């Protein structure tokens, strides 16, 4: 993530991401104070600062070298004592401070430590620093919320497109007048045409041209199609007993197949049933 900035009492202060946390530039914080960057080393020389940094690392850093810290703590406060951010991190394995060179270089500190440094610089400056930092976090939170809502809306739209595509593939085609008046060799093919819009023989020819193999048309049917096919078989038996011609039965069965498939495609209960065939629906004939 690129550095973000806040402005505190006329001073532009960079905020970077380190260890997946917000780190505030101490170098920027002291820019308009007398003494500049030397103030950071003065603050680090203070024994209370060393104690604070040590406690923070012990609470937040499992890799902190406590033995080295004890040595630094014992030396802190003496006139000859010197401690830089780089020396502190290299000696103890600390993560609360980060000093580096380059375009976005300087000394950065975790926000907890930066606020403590702000108190040492000026209580007033610290309060404005916290206020501006919180304003930035509120803006980022609102932006993240808007992005989440956008992604959620987009997901809903994509889901609608997806379900419409499924329906387009699974809903039986409306048969033409020529198809309904055609004579089919068996009642099984009558049902195939009503549901799939194609006979078993026609399907085998298409499959052989694509894959070199034929197979069985109903083996590749989806769970929804098999449910409707079972219903059509029962309904067809009733229509036969009523004395309807094959053309009349085909027209009725096709209408029923379309209605039932539309209902089943959106059925949550059916979606809960495990069936891998739902992943391989029959292609709608052209």
Give pLDDT tens digits for 248-284: 989 999 999 998 888 877 665 555 554 444 434 444 4
Domain count, the chain: 2
* Residue 165 within a domain: no
108: tokens are 């950065």
Q: Do 21 and 85 sit in the same domain of this protein?
A: yes
- Are 9 and 67 in a shared domain? yes
Q: Are residues 183 and 250 in the same domain?
A: yes
Whether 183 and 270 share a structural domain:
yes
Residue 124 has pLDDT above 80, yes or no: yes
Angle (CA) 42-46-47 rounded to 5° is 160
The answer to whether residue 96 sits within a structural domain is: yes
The confidence score (pLDDT) of residue 86 equals 92
Domain holding 209, by residue range, is 171-279
Task: Look at residue 106 and tell me if it is in a domain.
Answer: yes
In a domain, 284, yes or no: no
Rounded Cα distance between 16 and 108, Å, is 8
Q: What CA–CA distances, in Å, run from 19 to 54, 84, 94, 97?
A: 18, 20, 12, 11
Domain assignment present for residue 85? The answer is yes
Structure confidence by residue, pLDDT tens digits, 167-177: 555 567 788 88
Give the model's pLDDT for residue 227.
Answer: 84
Question: Do 175 and 136 fall into the same domain?
Answer: no
Distance CA 127, CA 8 (A): 10
Beta-carbon neighbour count of residue 173 at 10 Å?
A: 17
The helix, strand and coil proportions of the chain, stated in percent and rounded to the nearest 5, come to 65, 10, 25
> Given this model, what pLDDT does residue 283 score?
42
Q: For 196-212, how does the pLDDT look when each residue is reduced to its tens digit (9 = 90+)?
A: 888 888 888 888 777 66
In this structure, are 212 and 270 located in the same domain? yes
Q: What is the pLDDT of residue 25?
A: 94
Domain-located, residue 156: no
**pLDDT given for residue 164 in this prediction:** 56
Length of the chain, in residues: 286
Q: What is the pLDDT of residue 113?
A: 95
Q: Which residues of 2-15 are buried (b: 16+ CB within 10 A; e: fewer)?
A: eeeebebeebebbb
Same domain, 140 and 48: yes
SS3 1: coil
Query: Phi and psi at residue 224, in whole multiples of 5°?
Result: -60, -45
CA dist., res. 224 & res. 267, Å (int): 9
Of 6 and 274, more confident: 6
Domain boundary among 129, 144, 159: 144
- 233 in any annotated domain: yes
Q: How confident is the model at residue 104 (pLDDT cuts 50, 70, 90)?
A: low
Same domain, 105 and 183: no
* Distance, CA of 175 to CA of 198 (rounded, Å): 10
Residue 8 shares a structural domain with residue 132: yes
**For the segment 147-157, what is each residue's pLDDT rounded down to a tens digit?**
666 666 655 65
Q: Which two tokens stand for residue 18?
A: 């380190």
144, 162, 193 - which closes a domain: 144
Look up residue 146 and give its two tokens: 């808007």
For residue 162, being part of any structural domain is answered with no
My answer on whether 189 and 109 are in the same domain is: no
235 in the same domain as 119: no
pTM over 0.85: no
Domain shared by 28 and 106, yes or no: yes
Give 179's pLDDT tier (boundaries 50, 70, 90): confident
């Amino acid at each position: 993530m690129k550095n973000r900035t806040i402005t505190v009492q006329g001073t532009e202060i960079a905020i970077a991401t380190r260890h997946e946390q917000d780190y505030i530039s101490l170098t920027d914080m002291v820019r308009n104070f007398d003494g500049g960057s030397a103030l950071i080393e003065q603050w680090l020389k203070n024994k209370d600062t060393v104690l604070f940094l040590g406690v923070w690392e012990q609470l937040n850093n499992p890799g902190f070298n406590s033995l080295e810290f004890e040595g630094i703590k014992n030396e802190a406060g003496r006139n000859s004592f010197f401690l830089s951010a780089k020396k502190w991190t290299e000696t103890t394995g600390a993560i609360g401070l980060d000093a580096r060179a380059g375009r976005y270089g300087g000394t950065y500190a975790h926000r907890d430590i930066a606020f403590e440094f702000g108190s040492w610089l000026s209580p007033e400056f610290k309060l404005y620093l916290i206020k501006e930092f919180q304003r930035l976090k509120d803006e980022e939170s609102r932006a993240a919320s808007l992005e989440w809502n956008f992604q959620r809306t987009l997901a809903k739209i994509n889901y609608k497109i997806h379900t419409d595509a499924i329906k387009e593939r699974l809903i039986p085609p409306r048969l033409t007048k020529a198809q309904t008046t055609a004579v089919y060799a068996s009642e099984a093919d009558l049902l195939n045409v009503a549901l799939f819009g194609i006979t078993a023989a026609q399907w085998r020819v298409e499959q052989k041209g694509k894959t070199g193999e034929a197979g069985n048309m109903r083996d590749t049917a989806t769970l929804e199609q098999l449910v409707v096919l079972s219903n059509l078989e029962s309904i067809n038996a009733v229509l036969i007993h009523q004395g309807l011609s094959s053309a009349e039965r085909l027209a009725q069965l096709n209408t029923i197949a379309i209605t039932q498939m539309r209902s089943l495609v959106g059925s949550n209960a059916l979606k809960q049933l495990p069936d891998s065939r739902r992943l391989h629906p029959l292609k709608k004939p052209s």
